[in-house]
């Protein structure tokens, strides 16, 4: 089943007990606010975990002419990168020491990755993902986050806002646990979901 951004908006509106919409370009407050907050909701969820549906693995492009800031190599950070999950060297070993930062040139807004090793690969969550690629659980997370972001503007209910925020946190932990068990190789050793910790 193909899902659209309108479907995501209506998923969020169902938590707020609001009528559904047919387009995000309408003049109704529900359309205006869900459209306004949709990208932030999606990017927040993408940043929560190394979801397979949002994952890109590519070689980094090395650049010159950028001050090294004490590092040996400079790479372009992909423009669609929301969060870096892993850098690896040519032997596919994790690179633990690197830095992200903008150029000192105030005329550019490019972001770079600084490291001491050549020929690096990057694994990251991408902003290019479309909602139809999300699993049902990740799609539901996006709906919850969107509902939370729109709650006060559309419903002005502080208790509902807190409920949505708490429910989102709980569901994030559950979906992360499911993802960790389905793809154990992507588990970040510095982060273990609460549900896994409870079993240890």
What rounded mean pLDDT belongs to the chain?
90
Residue listed under structure tokens 């109704």 = 28
Long-range contacts of 170-177 (CB under 8 A, 24+ apart): 171/137, 171/140, 171/141, 171/144, 172/48, 172/49, 172/141, 174/137, 175/49, 175/137, 175/138, 175/141, 176/48, 176/49
Residue 187, domain member (yes or no): no
Whether residue 150 contacts residue 16, with contact meaning beta carbons closer than 8 Å, is answered with yes
188 part of a folded domain: no
47 and 62 inside one domain: no
- Look up the pTM and report it: 0.86
Domain hosting residue 157, numbered range: 5-51+134-181
Domain count of the fold of the chain: 2
Query: In this model, does residue 199 exceed pLDDT 70?
Result: no
Which DSSP helix (H) or strand (E) runs through 112? strand 111-115
Question: Are residues 117 and 24 both part of a single domain?
Answer: no
Q: Are the CB atoms for 9 and 146 separated by under 8 Å? A: yes
137, exposed or middle or buried, with CB in 10 Å at 0-12, 13-18, 19+?
middle
Query: At which of 97, 126, 155 does a domain end?
Result: 126
In which band, very low, low, confident or very high, does the pLDDT at 177 lie, cut at 50, 70 and 90? confident
CB atoms within 10 A of CB 110: 12
Residues 155 and 171 in one domain: yes
Residue 193 lies in a domain: no
Please identify, among 85, 106, 126, the residue that sits at the C-terminal boundary of a domain: 126
- pLDDT of res. 104: 80
Does residue 194 register a pLDDT over 50?
no
Q: Is residue 186 part of a domain?
A: no
**Residue 21 is assigned to a structural domain of this protein:** yes
Tell me the sheet residues that pair with 62: 75
Whether residue 120 sits in one domain with residue 140: no
Tokens read off for 92: 């596919």
Element housing 135 (H / E):
none
pLDDT at 62 over 60: yes
- Quote the pLDDT of residue 179: 82
Q: What confidence tens digit (pLDDT) does each residue in 126-161 have?
A: 999 999 999 999 999 999 999 999 999 999 999 999
Question: Predicted confidence band at 41 (pLDDT cuts at 50, 70, 90)?
Answer: very high
Q: Are residues 26 and 69 in the same domain?
A: no
Say yes or no: 82 and 110 in one domain.
yes
């Amino acid at each position: 089943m193909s899902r659209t951004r309108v479907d995501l908006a209506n998923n969020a509106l169902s938590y707020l007990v609001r009528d559904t919409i047919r387009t995000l370009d309408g003049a109704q407050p529900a359309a205006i606010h869900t459209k306004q907050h949709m990208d932030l909701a999606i990017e927040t969820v993408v940043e929560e975990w190394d979801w397979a549906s949002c994952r890109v693995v590519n070689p980094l492009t090395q650049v010159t002419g950028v001050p090294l800031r004490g590092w040996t190599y400079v790479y372009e950070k992909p423009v669609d990168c929301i969060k870096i999950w892993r850098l690896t060297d040519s032997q596919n070993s994790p690179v633990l020491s690197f830095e992200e930062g903008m150029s000192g040139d105030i005329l550019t807004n490019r972001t770079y990755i600084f490291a001491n090793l050549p020929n690096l690969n990057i694994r990251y969550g991408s902003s290019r993902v479309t909602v139809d690629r999300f699993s049902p659980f990740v799609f539901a997370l996006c709906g919850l986050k969107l509902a939370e972001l729109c709650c006060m503007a559309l419903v002005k209910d502080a208790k509902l806002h807190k409920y949505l925020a708490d429910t989102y946190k709980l569901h994030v932990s559950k979906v992360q646990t499911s993802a960790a068990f389905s793809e154990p190789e992507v588990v970040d050793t510095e982060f273990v979901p609460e549900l896994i910790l409870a079993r240890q």
